[in-house]
A and B are shown apart, each in its own frame.
Chain A
Amino acid sequence: MPEQLAFAIEVFLNGLMSGVLYALVALGFVLIYKASGIFNFAQGVMALFAAMTLVGIQNGQVPFSHLINAALGTQIHHFGWHIHSVLAITLTVGVMILLAWAIQRFVFRHLVGQEPIILFMATIGLAYFLEGFADLMWGSEIKKLDVCLMADACLPQGINLAIDEITFGWFGYGFFIDNLDITATIVAAILVVALVAFSQYTKQGRAMRAVADDHQAALSVGISLNFIWVLVWSVAGFVALVAGIMWGAKSGVQFSLSLIALKALPVLMLGGFTSIPGAIVGGLIIGVGEKLFEFWVGPLVGGATENWFAYVLALLFLVFRPQGLFGEKIIERV
Chain B
Amino acid sequence: MFYREAGDFKTSYSADNQTFPIKFDRVGYIVVMLIAFLVIPFIINDYWANAIFLPFLIYAIAALGLNILVGYCGQVSLGTGGFMAVGAYACYKLMTSFPDINIFFHVIIAGGITGLVCVVFGLPSLRIKGFYLAVATLAAQFFLVWLFNRVAWFYNYSASGQINAPERTVFGIEVTGPNTEAWATYLFCLVFLVASALIARNLTRGMAGRKWMAIRDMDIAAEIIGVNPLKAKISAFAVSGFFVGISGALFFSVYLGAVEVGEAFGINKSFLVLFMIIIGGLGSIFGSFAGAAFLVLLPVVLKVVGVDMLGWPTDIVAHLQLVIVGGLIIMFLILEPHGLAQLWRVTKQKLRLWPFPH
Contact = CB atoms under 8 A, between A and B. Distances in A.
A304 B150 CA distance: 9
A205 B342 CA distance: 42
A interface majority secondary structure = helix
B126 interface: yes
A221 interface: no
Interface residues of B, number: 52
A331 B330 contact: no
11 contacts: A107-B334, A120-B131, A121-B333, A124-B271, A125-B327, A135-B319, A136-B319, A308-B142, A311-B138, A314-B136, A334-B126
Interface in A60-103: 66-67, 70-71
B287 to A, nearest CB: 15
Q: B124, B126, B150, B323: which has the most chain A beta carbons within 10 Å?
A: B323
Interface string B326-352: 111110011001000000000000000
Given A132-B321, A307-B146, A66 B326 contact: no
A315 B128 CA distance: 10
A302 B150 contact: yes
Interface in B200-220: 219-220
Contacts of B310: 70-71
Contact of B312 (A70, A114, A116, A312): A70
Contact of A334 (B151, B220, B311, B313): B220
Interface in B218-271: 219-220, 223, 229, 267, 271
A67 B318 CA distance: 12
Contacts of B145: 307
Contact of B143 (A70, A110, A140, A312): A312
B143 A311 contact: yes
A128 B322 CA distance: 6
Given A122-B333, A126-B330, A302-B150, A66 B323 contact: no
Q: B123, B139, B229: which has the most chain A beta carbons within 10 Å?
A: B139
A185 to B, nearest CB: 26
A334 B271 contact: no
Given A111-B333, A122-B329, A318-B128, A132 B320 contact: yes
Given A124-B274, A129-B330, A132-B321, A319 B127 contact: yes
Interface string B113-145: 000000000011011111110111011001101
B interface majority secondary structure = helix
Nearest to A106: B330
A116 B130 contact: yes
A322 B139 CA distance: 15
A247 interface: no
B136 A315 contact: yes
B333 A308 contact: no
Nearest to A128: B326
Contacts of B319: 132-133, 135-136, 140
Interface residues of A, number: 51
Interface of B: 76, 123-124, 126-132, 134-136, 138-139, 142-143, 145-146, 149-151, 219-220, 223, 229, 267, 271, 274-275, 278, 310-313, 315-316, 319-330, 333-334, 337
B35 to A, nearest CB: 34
Name the 9 nearest CB pairs between A and B, nearest first.
A132-B322, A129-B326, A125-B329, A128-B326, A311-B139, A132-B323, A302-B150, A308-B142, A135-B319
Given A118-B337, A304-B149, A332-B129, 19 more contacts: A71-B312, A107-B334, A111-B334, A117-B76, A117-B134, A122-B329, A124-B274, A132-B319, A132-B324, A135-B315, A136-B316, A136-B323, A269-B136, A305-B146, A311-B139, A311-B143, A319-B127, A331-B129, A334-B126
Contact of A129 (B271, B327, B333): B327
A265 interface: yes
Contacts of B220: 332, 334
A262 B310 CA distance: 36
Contacts of A135: 315, 319, 322
A294 interface: no
Contacts of A266: 135, 139
A288 B292 CA distance: 41
A116 B130 CA distance: 8
Nearest to B149: A304
B326 A121 contact: no
A107 B334 CA distance: 8
Contacts of A312: 139, 143
A240 interface: no
Contact of A318 (B127, B151, B321, B326): B127
A235 to B, nearest CB: 21
Given A70-B312, A120-B134, A303-B150, A308 B139 contact: yes
B150 A67 contact: no
Contacts of B267: 262
B142 to A, nearest CB: 4
A5 interface: no
Q: A39, A302, A308, A319: which has the most chain B beta carbons within 10 Å?
A: A308
A322 B134 CA distance: 13
Contact of B139 (A125, A268, A315): A315
Interface string A300-328: 01111101100110110011001000000
Given A125-B333, A127-B326, A301 B131 contact: no
Nearest to A313: B139
A195 interface: no
Contact of A308 (B135, B146, B316): B146
Given A120-B131, A269-B135, A132 B334 contact: no
B91 to A, nearest CB: 23
Given A70-B312, A124-B271, A314-B139, A331 B132 contact: yes
A181 interface: no
B334 A110 contact: yes
